[in-house]
Structure formats: structure tokens, C-alpha cells
Amino acid sequence: MLGLSRFGYSVLIGRFMGPGDLAHVSAWLALALILSLLWPTGAGNAASHFLAHARSLGHTPVHSMRLILRTFWISCVVMLAIGIPISILALGAGLADVVMIAALIVSYSGYILARGIEVGLGRIERAAIWDVVAALATMTLLAVVLWAGLSWALLWPITIGYAIFGIQTWLRAQHGHEGLRQESIVEPTSILKLTSWNSLGLLASNGLIQFAMVYVFIVESPVKAGLFAAAMSLATPASMLSQAVTQVLIPRFSEWLATDPAGTRRRYVLVLAGMAAGLAAVFGAVALASPLIVNVVFGSQYDGASTIMSMLLAGIFAFSIGLVATAYLLTSNRVVSATVFSITGLAVGLGTMIVVTPLWTGTIAASIGVTVGYTVTALGVVVVSLLPQRMPTLRATTYDPIG
């Protein structure tokens, strides 16, 4: 729900504040998302995986959770050390903007980690309820900011919304596990290795479209960057759905591997085929209707965004399919393979943007780069995920998904 509220966030800012303000907010949000991929997002996936695995075998998840939380706070220091200079030097942020961006970086990263913890603990309904609460708070605060004309405070509502979800998780996540066996079955190095490799892969895959937003903001005028931001906000809600589904699939794949290793690959193929068919129908319909959607949602001043939106949808479809395959590779001892293909796709995508920019505009070059990069990654991870593999034997003492 918070993902969808971010869509509404962009729409309201684009409608009431114009393309220039939308470009600034979108670029700052993109920076926060990129930085969260350095560790917190991977830590969230590790939490959903390791906590679910421990619970499925009757062991407490608390030991793994505490280690993951410690690494999160260390990563916050690193993210702020990187993000603050970039926001000032490359994105033109003033002092008030820098404070907002710093708060957003920590808040969004905490939200992503908290969501992974909730999923790993099997608290899907609780997470959904608090997601709605946080989203409602976000949109209410944004309405107040827009009504008051506080353009300097445009990031605070969504920052507070993410913080609401994260804080409620941290207050309760370590309670309620007293009935489980208290010894740890996971080596700390296993968590750190998985988080490191997964973070690298996530930065390479999920980060590409966010890099594209920052790239367009730097090479184009604020108005043209605003058109790209509008197109991106319209093209990405379906990918947010696939990301949420994938985060649910990670613990499900983990449980299948723990309880029925032989049947896991067959189940995975069915999930992959179903996701591909469903997403193809959704993305195809949205692409055909993109001119109408842009006009209705953002208005006539954003007409140039429809072409960009259609191009981005092709890349985001490939990205969504790659997410499902990557989730399976992560839980079946092949996270390194997923990471290699993600890095390859990122390099190809960024290279394409740079090469194509002199031939067209920065917005078109970024759209082509996103599509090419995500397609390269998706083809690689899907092929590898379909190859037969001997499943490792799971032991009750230690568990290492990388080996």
C-alpha cells in the first residue's frame, strides 16, 4: 500500500506543483532508493529468508534478527556519508532539502527492512494493516503540505509514513518466540554473505531505473526530467506489486526447500509461468492505454510522457520476470549467478544511456537503457533458474544458502 501511495504522491505533486517540483522530488526519492539497495533491501530479503527458515524448523529467529538490525544501523551511517554530498553537488539540494533527504534515506531503508522482517515472521496480515495505516498517514500529511503551499516540505509526509511502519515492527518483532527452540541454527557469516551478494545484485537490477531518473535530472532540464518522472511513476506500480509478491515468494521457496526439496523446482516453474502470463497481460494493456492514462492522471502538460512510459513498461516487464527467477536463485544456492547477470544488465543499461544520449534526448536514451539492461538480466536469470540442480542437504546445526 505504501508503494501505491508513492504513486499517488507523485501524481498529486505533479498535478499541483508542476513538472519541475516533481522532477526534484523524484530525483531525491531515487537517490534514497539507490542508497537503500547498498544494504537495507538485501538485509530485508535476508530477514524474510532466514527468519522463515528458522521458524519452519522450530528454532527462534531472534538471533538472526538482532544481527541483521545491527548491520542496518551501521549501513545507515555509510548511506548518509554517501547521500548527503551527492544531494548537494549533483542534485542541487539546499540545507532544508538535505535534512529531508537524510531523514528519508533512513526512514525508507528502515521500512524495507521492517517489511522483510514481518514477512519472515509470517505476519503478512499485520504488515498489510500497518502498510495501510502508514499510507493513509502519508497521503493525509501530503494533502496538508500541498494545501499550505509548503514546497520545502514535500518529502516529509512520505518520510514520516515509512517511519511509522518501521517503528511498529522494531517494537514487536523480537517478542512472541519463547515457545521455539532457542539455539541459533544460522552462522552469522551466512547472513552477511547472503546480504552482501543480494545487495550487490539488487543495486544492479532494481537500481537501474532509479539511476535513470537521476541521470535524466542531471542531463535534462527540470521540466523534461519531470516528464520522465511522470512516465516512471505510471510505469512502476505494477512492478511494485511484483516486488511485493516476490518478497512473499522468498520465504515460500525457503519452506519448500526445507520440507520438499524434490518438488520445489516443479512448483517454481508453475509460479514463473503464471507470473509471466499475468504480467504480460497487465503490462500490455497499460502500454496500449498510455496516452490516455497520462492525460487523465497528470494532464495535458505531460503529453510527452506517454512515449517514455510505453518504453519503460517493456523494461519493467522484463525486470518483474527477472525478480521471480532471482528469488528462486537466492533460496536455491545460486545467488552469485543472479548477481552476475544483474551487474551485466546494469552495465549494459548505463552504457546504452550514455551512447544513445547524443543521438536522441536524455529521456529517450534513459528509457532505452532501462529496457535493454533489464532484458539482459531477465534472460540470464531465467535461463539459469530453469537449469537442473542438485539441492543441498539442509542440516539442523547451520545453514548457508551460498555455500
* Helix axes 19-36 and 2-17, enclosed angle (nearest 10): 150
Q: Is the separation of the CB atoms in 381 and 329 below 8 Å?
A: yes
Residue with cell 527458515: 53
pLDDT at 403: 41
pLDDT at 370: 96
Q: What is the CA radius of gyration of the chain?
A: 21
Mention every residue, 6+ apart, whose C-beta is less than 8 A from residue 298. 11, 14, 15, 230, 234, 305
Q: Residue 394: helix, strand or coil by DSSP? A: coil
Q: How far apart are CA 310 and CA 288, in angstroms?
A: 8
Model confidence pTM above 0.75: yes
pLDDT at 182: 67
Determine the straight-line distance between the first and last CA of the chain, rounded to whole angstroms: 36
pLDDT at 394: 41
Mention every residue, 6+ apart, whose C-beta is less than 8 A from residue 317. 279, 280, 283
Residue 358 grid cell: 547524443
Nearest CA among 317, 380, 314, 313 for reference residue 343: 380
Residue-range definition of the domain harbouring residue 146: 2-386
Residue 395 domain-assigned (yes or no): no
Q: With a cut of 50, list the residues of the chain below it in pLDDT.
A: 392-403
Q: How far apart are CA 347 and CA 353, in angstroms?
A: 10
Residue 398 domain-assigned (yes or no): no
Mention every residue, 6+ apart, whose C-beta is less than 8 A from residue 300. none
- The pair phi, psi for residue 357, each rounded to 5°, is -55, -45
Q: Is the separation of the CB atoms in 55 and 185 below 8 Å?
A: no
Q: How far apart are CA 105 and CA 83, in angstroms?
A: 8
pLDDT at 400: 42
Q: How far apart are CA 23 and CA 298, in angstroms?
A: 14
Q: How many domains does the chain have?
A: 1
Give the 3-state secondary structure of 217-252.
HHHCCHHHHHHHHHHHHHHCHHHHHHHHHHHHHHHH
pLDDT at 282: 86
Nearest CA among 253, 204, 242, 184 for reference residue 401: 253
In DSSP terms, which residues pair with 59 in a beta bridge? Answer: 181
Residue 126 grid cell: 499485520
Nearest CA among 206, 401, 158 for reference residue 318: 206
Q: How far is CA 8 from CA 98, 152, 178, in A?
A: 23, 19, 41
Residue 152 grid cell: 520545502
Q: Is the separation of the CB atoms in 186 and 50 below 8 Å?
A: yes
